[in-house]
Amino acid sequence: MTITANQSYAYADLPRLMGLMTGDEKHGPAATSTMDALWVLYDRVLRVGPERMDDPERDRFLLSKGHGPMAYYAVLAAKGFVPVEWLPAFGSYDSPLGHHPDRVLVPGAEIGSGSLGHGLPIAVGTALGLRAQGLDEPRVWVLIGDAELDEGSNHEAIAFAGAAGLERLHTVVIDNSSASHARPGGIAARFEAAGWSAATVDGRDHEALYAAFTAPHPGRPRVVVAQVEPKYA
């Protein structure tokens, strides 16, 4: 397959797009663990696009797991947010595609991210801000890694969001067994205890992901735990 700027892309093209990004510090497992969830979101769920990046009614997607952004950049390229020609320069000095996404440099990126534990609190604030503005249609999505749940900031955000009934807030947890601390009852149980609607699915099964992403959850925030192969297997 030849990668060109003008063709349309399918899920099957993502490995080749990711393969254009070379160099050190790629965090390959962190990136590939998110590939399926990102594709389903951008291809079938999120109300976003290059033509509406400034639309106040757009959905907001926040990549908290920003230390492994290759799959994210590949999906943004496939969906026309960034030029495919940017991908080979990933991580270089003058490339807008850094090892952590920069919202000022990367079209479509809502936040700069990569530091563990920041994305979910920012998503809570985003949902509150939209509510305060009377914007009831936009949904806020945040993708975090299971190891981010080792950070206390996320547990404060989980507790607040459930109590506040932030039903426009959606969290995807990529579970690749890299967390340091065990969670009795599983990750979903932690969110359910705080009043969230929760589901745990195969993170490689696109239909299961789509069903979990689109399930109704009136009055409650939603979390989908996407289980993938262990990072260190």
What percentage of the chain exceeds 70 in pLDDT?
A: 92
Does residue 182 surpass a pLDDT of 70? no
Does residue 2 surpass a pLDDT of 70? no
Side chain identity at residue 89, one-letter code: A
Average pLDDT for 45-69: 95
Return the pLDDT at 232. Answer: 66
Return the pLDDT at 177. Answer: 85
DSSP conformation class of 95: -
What percentage of the chain exceeds 90 in pLDDT?
A: 80
What mean pLDDT value characterizes the chain?
A: 92
Does residue 131 surpass a pLDDT of 60? yes
Does residue 107 surpass a pLDDT of 50? yes
Does residue 1 surpass a pLDDT of 50? no
Q: Residues 152-158: contacts with CB within 8 Å, 24+ apart?
A: 152/117, 153/117, 153/118, 153/120, 153/121, 154/117, 154/120, 154/121, 155/190, 156/121, 157/120, 157/121, 157/123, 157/124, 158/120, 158/190, 158/191, 158/194, 158/196
Q: What is the CB neighbour count within 10 angstroms for residue 94?
A: 5
Lowest mean pLDDT among 65-69, 214-218, 221-225: 65-69
Q: What angle do CA 136, 142, 143 make, to 5 degrees?
A: 155
DSSP conformation class of 159: H
Q: What is the CB neighbour count within 10 angstroms for residue 211?
A: 13
